[in-house]
Structure 1
């Protein structure tokens, strides 16, 4: 079976290949900050976008979160929160990992994920299969986060392709619509079986 180098399946990471945040993680970090889970969750997500997009360092992000909660911003607390946060996003769906790796026999396979740079470094170190993909684009590294069109354009340029050559797979409809707006094909991920059928229909016959 030969790879169709003209077709590219571009995957989101979390909610597709990797699991969403570990249950209880936000509550654990809230307890470390001696604050309520609701207050912590609000501060955590309110300040997240610049961190995801590579415009804020981990230290700057956690300083913003702690200041929003009126908590001390000492280096030890920041590092403990940073490491707990990285661990909370570390789980993968092994069945999907196997599917993605096998798909490389049929098309080019790439990844576009909203993930801070330090999280990306940890994920790359822990998951060697990422190095086998045709492109790994992490928002914290490329300084553009979905649904910003620049994130999708980065992948188009890096792979010397046209937008129509891509099938973008994400569990968030907002991101799929953004990919379609720049000319990519899109699929909202709801499970591996539906995804496999969509990819089989999109790729040329074997």
Structure 2
């Protein structure tokens, strides 16, 4: 029997926020820096499945701040990028909200405790907080660069369950990356692999999660 869900925990990129494909960002930065994609790709890897972590992964765990990430990336580029140029390209990865999912989030938040847990970085977190209003629906927010831990590391899931004052099985992760879904389940959480808002609504209903109906 499935445990009751105490907390719904949303990923952000790919779930609530539309994100440019990684290959598009890679091609843009390679062109701007006159550097081959083969050189740049390992520096921008964001999978957290092998060590040492890439500069982009260390940026997402808070080991590198914006200035340090900029300096480390520039050390490998054929043409160094200005700080503002790099930050603008990082911000440009975020294309806008997914309206159907944001609508579902609002309806869920009316009846449930809702949090987010995002593998993100200081630039994206600041940009999202400024540009998008869905944060008002969250009772708690967790960002990898503030925790110092990124999904699928079990320590992040264990920490969040403690902060939310619930057993791991009471947390339900909603994430578009299968590796994070598997990581959450390995840590004792429930988890759903996100594809679209309609499928998510059906999956949540099947689990007995209540949400406010549209008027």
TM-score > 0.5, shorter chain as reference: yes
Deviation at 1:90? 4.4
Counterpart in the other structure of 1:191: 196
* 4+ aligned runs moved over 4 Å, structure 1: none
Counterpart in the other structure of 2:8: 9
Counterpart in the other structure of 2:73: 65
Q: CA RMSD in A?
A: 2.2
Tell me whether 1:95 sits opposite 2:87 in the alignment: no
Counterpart in the other structure of 2:171: 166
Counterpart in the other structure of 2:50: none
- 133-142 or 148-157, larger mean C-alpha shift: 148-157
Deviation at 1:205? 6.5
Q: Return the alpha-carbon distance in structure 2 between the equivalents of residues 205 and 190 of structure 1.
A: 20
Counterpart in the other structure of 2:32: 32
**TM-score normalized with structure 2 length:** 0.83
Decide which of 199, 207, 211 is 1:202's aligned counterpart: 207
Count of aligned pairs: 199
Give 1:2-151 correspondences, 5 Å limit. Answer: 7-21=6-20, 24-45=24-45, 46-72=54-80, 77-151=82-156
Deviation at 1:83? 2.0
**TM-score normalized with structure 1 length:** 0.86
Q: Return the alpha-carbon distance in structure 2 between the equivalents of residues 42 and 115 of structure 1.
A: 18
Q: 1:28 to 1:187 in 2, by over 3 A?
A: same
Deviation at 1:147? 0.7
Q: Return the alpha-carbon distance in structure 1 between the equivalents of residues 116 and 61 of structure 2.
A: 16
Alpha-carbon contact 1:17-1:96 (below 8 Å) kept: yes
Structure 2 unaligned spans of 5+: 46-53
Residue 19 of structure 1 aligns to a residue in which SS?
strand
Deviation at 1:173? 1.4
Q: 1:205 to 1:27 in 2, by over 3 A?
A: closer
Structure 1 unaligned spans of 5+: none
**Structure 1 or 2: larger helix share?**
1
